[in-house]
Structure 1
Amino acid sequence: MQESTELLVTPKLFEQIVKAEGNLVGIETPNVDETIAQFRQLAIRSGQSVYLWDPENGIAALRESEMRVPGSKRFPDALRFILQSVQFGVYLLRDFEPHVRPPNTALLQRIARIRTDNERKLVFLAQKLALPQAIDALVERMNRAGDTATRPRLRDGRWVTA
């Protein structure tokens, strides 16, 4: 039996990530490895373009983990690849905390501003999300049920709850 505090990665949650207003999404989960495993199952079953970035492997497709993006181990290189990509994709980020600092924050802000049909979503996965204020204001947080958190945030100079 699964604890109620566990995150369940469902097609509904994936759809909410894709339909999120911004391109940066934050999800707190007590077990990041289990959440990634659930995203992997979703990617395999649905055929969705879901990728994982971590400092040891760089960007890798979750459906085929041996399929990696060369030269994407460094966080700024991974962000530049995502910025230049013309393909739709959901990119899960783990162990990102030490890398979310200038000049990488400027790249994250550029990704947050992308408005095209082939959206790229970055999903910060952590037990406890702690992001610099400039980035935190751009991150749409989702709770364990996949709903948008209602914590007020400053966006474009005004407070919003969605």
Structure 2
Amino acid sequence: MSDPKTELPIIQKLFERIVQSPEHVIALDTDNPDELLAQMRMLAIRGGTSIYAWDPEGGITPLREAGLYVPGTKRLADALRYVLQSMHFGVYLFMAFEEFLRPAETLFLRRISRTAMRSERKVVFVGHQVALPEELDGVYQALSMAPHASQRLRLRDGRWVS
């Protein structure tokens, strides 16, 4: 596992990218969703940010308070309805979602993406090579946690190159 002190600034930058995204629905590609969730939990606890996670066994839970679940959010459609009706800022991480989204769930995601919200709410599907249905093309943003080799500077022949 990575050093939490060095990883937190990376997660803060990712969190800022999520919040500043023009889209309300985001597909986040990561090789290690469990580590991402742990780092987001630390960010929520230390920074007091409203980050929630969903899993099919418990539903939506605030990352700041382990063990508390929002009643009636175990099913994905119910969780998306809750996000749509919520009046508060929040980033909702959907970790163990089914690759195949049913029409009702796709409809909720389209409504979330079109709704002008007073307080930002972001629905983030997290996984390895997340693929959302074709019906959602153009209404979500794809982000990646994978490091880009071209962005790393290297010293070659006495000069820095990317």
Does structure 1 retain, via aligned residues, the 8 Å contact 2:27–2:132? Answer: no
Match of 2:78 in 1: 77
2:42, 2:10 → 1: CA distance? 9
% identical aligned pairs: 46
Query: Separation in 2 of the partners of 1:39 and 1:12?
Result: 11
Q: Which residue of 2 aligns with 1:153?
A: none
Does 1:65 find its partner at 2:66?
A: yes
Query: What is the SS of the residue equivalent to 2:131?
Result: coil
1:67 offset after TM fit, Å?
A: 2.0
TM-score, length basis structure 2: 0.81
Aligned equivalents of 1:20, 1:138: Cα separation in 2: 12
**TM-score of the superposition, structure 1-length normalised?**
0.81
After TM superposition, give the deviation of residue 114 of structure 1 in Å.
Answer: 1.8
Report the equivalent of 1:17: 18
Structure 1 residue 141: Cα displacement: 1.1
Q: How many residues align?
A: 144
User: In structure 1, what is the Cα distance between the partners aligned to 2:143 and 2:131?
Assistant: 14
1:103-142 to structure 2, matched below 5 A, reads: 103-142=104-143
Tell me which moved more, 55-64 or 128-137. Answer: 128-137
Quickly say closer, same or farther: Cα 1:22–1:28, change in 2 above 3 A: same
Structure 1 residue 143 displacement after superposition: 2.2
Q: Flag structure 1 segments of 5+ consecutive residues without an equivalent.
A: 148-162
SS at match of 1:10: helix
RMSD value, Cα: 2.3
Deviation at residue 145 of structure 1 after TM alignment: 6.5
Counterpart CA distance in 1 for 2:88 and 2:70 is 13
Contact 1:92 1:122 in 2 (8 A): yes
Q: Which residue of 2 aligns with 1:158?
A: none
Unmatched segments (≥5 aa) in structure 2 = 149-162
Q: Which amino acid aligns with 2:123?
A: L
CA apart distance, 1:99: 5.3
**Could you say if the C-alpha distance between residues 146 and 32 of structure 1 is closer, same or farther in structure 2, counting changes exceeding 3 Å?**
same
Once the two structures are TM-superposed, the CA of residue 50 in structure 1 deviates from its matched residue by: 0.2
- 1:47-66 alignment runs, 5 A limit: 47-66=48-67
Q: Work out which of the two has the higher radius of gyration on C-alpha atoms and give 1 or 2.
A: 2
